[in-house]
């Protein structure tokens, strides 16, 4: 289908973009357009104005600091894939982004666009939640920072106001010794994941798991941390018995949806299988 009739503006600054959003109720931001354009083509949305932030240089850039890794909202997936320093500094991020759709979409899709769109099966919201990211937002009343755990409120829903712009996301620094893993399953390579599991944890001096983070995408209404599973693994030695019991707990901890691609019970079983694979890979037990 063709898009409905709309106006188009290309602001040169974040302040100008905010002013346009304020002055035009229902206006939508477009950056890479990989999520928004299909929505417009199917006429699931008909904004009066598209605010194209593609010229705002302040929203670009990857900064790798000692304590924080900052991604500008306009950073594209292909930039993340190509950044060798980022692959060392945040390997889980790069591994998850490597699974995003196809090359053409990774060449245009952006960090901010994915976070604001908040698809439950998307990789970037999952990265943000499992890695304790902080999202930075600017609006007419100033700036605010929102923890990823508080940013997503439901499928395709966030706390972002209509006149606010997501400008950057911060990920905590990543210890070189950290153990991690990610795996997702889709019906075809490049499709949205029916489920995906991300895990990372450190080891204390006794070899026990600490700072355990477990996250799920695609199998719930929004990306989620599985805190019960994290508690079960915290302070424990990772062995086959723990992996088995924790995988069962992971399956029981989610509230999966049924759709034309998979029913809820299939997604429960899939999460358990993916969790086992991911932790074994992190522990090199496979």
Q: Encode pLDDT of 226-251 as tens digits.
A: 999 999 999 999 999 999 999 999 99
Tokens of 149: 């755990």
**What mean pLDDT do residues 190-219 have?**
96
Res. 1: pLDDT tops 80? no
Q: What is the pLDDT of residues 53-73, one digit of tens each?
A: 999 999 999 999 999 999 999
Q: How does residue 2 score in pLDDT terms, banded at 50, 70 and 90? A: confident
Q: How does residue 134 score in pLDDT terms, banded at 50, 70 and 90? A: very high
Q: The pTM is what? A: 0.95
pLDDT for position 286: 46
Q: Beta strand 49-52 with 28-30: parallel, antiparallel or unpaired?
A: parallel
pLDDT for position 131: 98
**What mean pLDDT do residues 181-206 have?**
95
Q: What is the pLDDT of residues 124-133, one digit of tens each?
A: 999 999 999 9
Mean pLDDT of the chain: 95
φ, ψ dihedrals at 212, nearest 5°: -75, 130
Q: What is the pLDDT of residues 137-190, one digit of tens each?
A: 999 999 999 999 999 999 999 999 999 999 999 999 999 999 999 999 999 988
CA atoms 275, 221, 70, 192: torsion sign: positive
Per-residue buried b or exposed e for 247-264, using 16+ beta carbons within 10 Å of the residue's own CB: bbbbbebbebbeeeebee
pLDDT for position 4: 84
pLDDT for position 44: 86
Res. 285: pLDDT tops 70? no
pLDDT for position 190: 87
């Amino acid at each position: 289908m063709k898009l409905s009739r709309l106006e188009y503006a290309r602001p040169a600054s974040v302040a100008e973009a905010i002013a346009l959003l304020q002055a035009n109720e229902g206006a939508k931001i477009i950056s890479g357009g990989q999520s928004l354009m299909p929505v417009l083509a199917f006429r699931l949305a008909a904004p009066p104005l598209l605010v194209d932030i593609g010229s705002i240089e302040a929203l670009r850039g990857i900064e790798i600091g000692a304590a924080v890794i900052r991604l500008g909202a306009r950073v594209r997936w292909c930039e993340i894939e190509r950044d060798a320093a980022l692959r060392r500094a945040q390997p889980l991020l790069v591994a998850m982004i490597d699974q995003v759709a196809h090359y053409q979409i990774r060449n245009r899709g952006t960090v901010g666009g994915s976070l604001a769109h908040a698809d439950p099966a998307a990789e970037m919201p999952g990265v943000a939640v499992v890695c304790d990211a902080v999202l930075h937002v600017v609006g007419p009343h100033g700036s605010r920072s929102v923890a990823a755990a508080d940013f997503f409120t439901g499928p395709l829903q966030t706390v972002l106001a209509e006149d606010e712009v997501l400008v950057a996301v911060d990920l905590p620094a990543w210890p070189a010794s950290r153990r991690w893993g990610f795996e997702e399953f889709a019906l075809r390579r490049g499709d949205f994941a029916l489920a995906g599991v991300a895990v990372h944890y450190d080891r204390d001096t006794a070899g026990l798991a600490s700072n355990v983070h477990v996250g799920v995408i695609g199998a719930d209404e929004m990306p989620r941390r599985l805190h019960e599973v994290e508690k079960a693994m915290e302070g424990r030695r990772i062995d086959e018995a723990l992996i088995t019991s924790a995988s069962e707990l992971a399956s029981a901890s989610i509230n999966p949806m049924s759709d034309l691609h998979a029913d809820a019970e299939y997604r429960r079983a899939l999460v358990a299988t993916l969790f086992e694979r991911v932790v074994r890979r992190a522990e090199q037990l496979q």
